[in-house]
Amino acid sequence: MTDTDHSRAAETKAMTCPCGKAAPCAGSRPSNGAGTENANTGPTLPDTTSETREEFGGIKAQIPETDAPDEILQRANSREWDNAFALCSGGKDSTAALHHTYRNAEFPLDGIIFIDTNIGLHESKEYVQNLGEKFDLPVHIADTRNKADRYRERIEKYGFAGPTRQSHRFEYICNKDKPLQKFLTGFEGQSLLISGATRQESDARYEAVSADGIEQDGTRTFVSPLARWTQSDVDDYLNEHGVEVSEVTELLESSGDCLCGAYADRYLELSQLREHYRYLHTYIQSLEARVIDAARNDELLKDQYSSCSGFRGSLLHTDHTGYPVR
């Protein structure tokens, strides 16, 4: 026998499974040399025809199923609260949540809250005010904020919001959360706030909205009855109940209540505003001119708002070194 033959024989012996086959079979375990099987063996992939194939590495199976709207509303009602409001921006989701809660909740709503962001369309606010008349509910406008938190004041210091979660959150806090908090200080006790947030809207929303649709934040309890719905579910509900959506939503595919520029498509958004809502288009361009001047004079605060971009709604992120434009 040649050296090559000896080598092949040794290799075959090394690869021989206890069952006698030349490769380890799925149904056997290697011997430890003492006639017993090793208890600790590496993982094996399931057969492609196995019934367990769909469960292999399944993360979705470990995620709790999102509760149904009525379950969420019932759980919210079981909590202790002193007043209940529906947050409505004029978009499809918040309008559907308002309508569903008004019709199906075991508790009455004390009113509707519209948050004036300082950078939204007047038509969005008017639509929500009309909803209040239809539901016979008072519409409260939350628009009180510190001067430093006003949109115009901020963008002249920091530039326009860039395409990051941090800058988007900064805009949310200044444009919506702070005015809401100030408004609620006029009411005693715990506030139940109906939101149109859905888990299917985006990855960020999926993480932010819990499976039970309820989030506690101090004296505020946010309730998202439509947490499990997709956009198709929302559209079907509105059509089924004959709810007229706002013209803004039809034209812009958004509520139009906050056009701060975070994550926005600059050219698409501006062209739509120029065509349908020229007054806001003109206002935003005037703000751009101010930011350009601030950048030219090196007046933008780079360090305090590093997530912002001089390009309002641009997909490019800058450190304010060039001229910021839309």
Express each pLDDT in 39-59 by its tens digit. 444 444 444 444 444 443 443
Separation of alpha carbons 175 and 165, rounded Å: 15
- So what's the pLDDT on residue 301? 82
pTM: 0.73
Q: Where are the domains of the chain?
A: 69-309
- So what's the pLDDT on residue 62? 44
Question: Which residues touch 259 (CB under 8 Å, ≥6 apart)?
Answer: 119, 120, 121, 269, 273, 280, 284
Separation of alpha carbons 162 and 169, rounded Å: 11
- So what's the pLDDT on residue 67? 83
The strand pairing partners of 37, in sequence order, are 31
- So what's the pLDDT on residue 204? 52
CA-closest candidate to residue 264, choices 316, 218, 229? 316
Choose which CATH entry (3.30.70.2520, 3.40.50.620, 3.20.20.140, 3.40.50.300) describes domain 69-309: 3.40.50.620
Per the CB < 8 A criterion, the answer to whether 151 and 117 are in contact is yes
Question: In a 3-state reduction of DSSP, which class is residue 253?
Answer: coil
- So what's the pLDDT on residue 152? 93
Residue 2 banded pLDDT, cuts 50, 70, 90: low
Q: What DSSP element (H or E) covers 231?
A: helix 231-240
pLDDT of residue 246 exceeding 60: yes
Q: Which is higher by pLDDT, 202 or 46? A: 202
Q: What percent of the chain has pLDDT over 90?
A: 53
The position carrying tokens 């799925």 is: 26
Residue 189 banded pLDDT, cuts 50, 70, 90: very high
Express each pLDDT in 71-123 by its tens digit. 999 999 999 999 999 999 999 999 999 999 999 999 999 999 999 999 999 99
Residue 65 banded pLDDT, cuts 50, 70, 90: confident
